Amino acid sequence: MIRVAICDDHVMVREALASVIEHEDGVHIVGIADSLASTNALIETEVPEVLVMDVRLDGESGLDVARSVVANYPDVKIVMLTSFNSDEALVSAYELGASAFVLKSGSSDALVQTIRDVASGMRLINPAEVRVASETLEKRGMGILRKLDANDRHIARLIALGYSDKQIAETVYLGLQTVRNRVSRMLSRFNKDNRTQLALFFSEYQSELAEM
């Protein structure tokens, strides 16, 4: 029996996925989650073989959640779900160690087969497609953004939304001085004179930052 967990921030989506998958022979849903905290709690207690993870979550990046899972539970296979093709998300999914990258527009039968395949040890992300996507990102000038770590990407998204340093510190659970130091480094790194310029710069890449 393949033990499967689902993380998606839309109630109807995750319940529908759970209902479809649960009716398949040899596959069992051990739980559903909607955030980093609830995913970690679920995995710690239920230990699924496969985690089906949405790329985008409300207020969080599904990719960052997946990174945390890979770091803490390396035996859990990750299937990333996305609503549309994205070079950023594909490359990030491959780099973090996800086993598959699946469009939500696909069939439920295809998703179930993907779950069976990754549970058996297959990695279904095509390295050639990842290489092409990486080259496309470099041509678009995304290389420097991709070098940001998970905390800096989260901070960058919040800067673009107009958060203050204090609000950012409370959101990402870092000390206020740590956030100020990171913002200062980003000002220098991206050659911006002030926070307003940095916010405007990051706002242009808001969707891309959410998919890294």
Whether the pLDDT of residue 141 is over 90: the answer is: no
CA 157 to chain CA centroid, nearest Å: 14
Higher pLDDT, 94 or 139: 94
Whether the pLDDT of residue 137 is over 90: the answer is: no
**Spatial distance between the Cα atoms of 26 and 100, rounded to a whole number of angstroms:** 20
Q: How far apart are the first and last CA of the chain?
A: 32
| CATH fit for domain 2-136, picks 3.40.50.2300, 3.40.30.10, 3.20.20.70, 3.20.10.10 | 3.40.50.2300
- The pLDDT, as a whole number, for residue 189 is 87
**Structure-derived torsion over alpha carbons of residues 120, 125, 127, 133, reported in degrees to the nearest 10:** -170
pLDDT in tens, 59-80: 788 998 999 999 999 999 999 9
Residues whose CB is less than 8 angstroms from the CB of residue 193 and which lie 6 or more positions away in sequence, other chains included: 187
Q: Are 152 and 172 in contact (CB under 8 A)?
A: no
* Residue recorded with tokens 């890979």: 70
Tell me the average pLDDT across 199-208. 83
Tell me the average pLDDT across 145-158. 87
- The pLDDT, as a whole number, for residue 29 is 96
Tell me the average pLDDT across 104-123. 94
Q: How confident is the model at residue 142 (pLDDT cuts 50, 70, 90)?
A: confident
- The pLDDT, as a whole number, for residue 145 is 81
Tell me the average pLDDT across 112-119. 97
Tell me the average pLDDT across 100-129. 95
pTM of structure: 0.75
Q: Are 89 and 66 in contact (CB under 8 A)?
A: no
Q: How confident is the model at residue 190 (pLDDT cuts 50, 70, 90)?
A: confident
- Classified by CATH at the fold level, domain 143-209 comes out as Arc Repressor Mutant, subunit A (1.10.10)
DSSP-H helix ranges across the chain = 11-22, 36-46, 62-72, 87-96, 108-119, 127-139, 143-146, 150-160, 165-172, 176-189, 195-203, 206-209
Tell me the average pLDDT across 1-20. 93
Whether the pLDDT of residue 117 is over 90: the answer is: yes
Tell me the average pLDDT across 155-170. 93
Domain ranges of the chain: 2-136, 143-209
On average, the pLDDT of the chain sits at 91
Range in 19-28, 143-152, 176-185 the model is least confident about: 143-152
Q: How confident is the model at residue 125 (pLDDT cuts 50, 70, 90)?
A: very high
